[in-house]
């Protein structure tokens, strides 16, 4: 498999949100607007790349039976680092995402990539895998956030183009499930056509 494929597979073939259906908790909770979705995606990508690199580097020295706790500690460390740094230098972004940053620790995507990819592959490949999956996640969250923002608040990336409110339900939890469901349908339709 070429190096480039490690990146591109995360976008479509192994898209974490629409194909693997991993990390649903932050996906549903943070995508109330396109900006929120994108920030969450980028924060997760940052943790994913770093944790993939470190885990692929130390995997050979970790006894098999304690690998999960070891990975979790590594991931939690990066998340906390991210939290400190965001709080110190970009307090505004931290304000909107604050609540969800700690949730990255228990994001299935991060642990899933550590377990399924990083501990079997080289550091470079794992970093590329982190970039690819991270980009796929960011893209999906931005898209889902954009759809919900357009339908729910009548704006896109914070720019209002319809006066008044949209369909409120799309900003709330039920709308998250609805929008995600329809996006998965569209995604499957598009990708299955490509395969034929």
Partner 1 sequence: MAVQSTFKNMSLCLLVICLVCSGLLAGVYALTKEPIDAAAKAKNEAAIMEVLPETAVTVEEERTVEFEGASYTYNLAYDEVGNTVGCAINVAPVGFGGPIAIKVGFDVNGVIWNTKVLSQAETPGLGAKCVEPSFSSQFKGFDPAAKKLAVKKDGGDVDAITASTITSRAYTDGLALAVKVFQAIAQTPMPLNE
Q: How far is the CB of 96 from partner 1 (least distance, A)?
A: 11
Q: Is residue 70 within a helix (H) or strand (E), and if so which, with residue range? A: helix 67-89
37 near partner 1, rule: CB under 8 A: no
Q: Establish how many alpha carbons lie within 13 A of residue 40's alpha carbon, considering only the half-sphere containing its beta carbon.
A: 33
80 near partner 1, rule: CB under 8 A: yes
Residue 160 φ then ψ, to 5°: -85, 130
Q: Looking at beta carbons only, is 2 or 159 nearer to partner 1?
A: 159
155 near partner 1, rule: CB under 8 A: no
CA distance 97 to 190: 32
73 near partner 1, rule: CB under 8 A: yes
1 near partner 1, rule: CB under 8 A: no
For residues 93 to 132, the per-residue mask of contacts with partner 1, x marking binding by CB under 8 A and - elsewhere, is: --------------------------xx------------
The SS3 of residue 156 is: strand
Contact indicator for 106, 41 with CB cutoff of 8 Å: no
């Amino acid at each position: 498999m070429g190096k480039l494929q490690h990146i591109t597979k995360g976008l479509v073939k192994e898209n974490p949100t629409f194909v693997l259906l991993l990390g649903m908790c932050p996906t549903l909770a943070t995508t109330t607007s396109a900006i929120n979705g994108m920030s969450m995606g980028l924060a997760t990508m940052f943790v994913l790349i770093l944790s993939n690199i470190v885990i692929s580097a130390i995997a050979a020295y970790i006894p098999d039976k304690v690998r999960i706790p070891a990975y979790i500690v590594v991931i939690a460390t990066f998340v906390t680092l991210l939290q400190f740094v965001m709080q110190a230098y970009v307090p505004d972004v931290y304000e909107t995402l604050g609540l969800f940053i700690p949730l990255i620790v228990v994001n299935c995507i991060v642990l899933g990539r550590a377990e399924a990819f990083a501990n079997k592959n080289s550091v470079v490949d794992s970093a590329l895998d982190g970039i690819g999956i991270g980009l796929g996640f960011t893209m999906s969250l931005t898209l889902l956030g954009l759809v919900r923002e357009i339908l729910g608040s009548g704006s896109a990336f914070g720019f209002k183009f319809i006066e008044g409110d949209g369909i409120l339900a799309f900003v709330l939890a039920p709308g998250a499930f609805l929008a995600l469901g329809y996006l998965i349908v569209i995604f499957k339709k598009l990708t299955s056509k490509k395969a034929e």
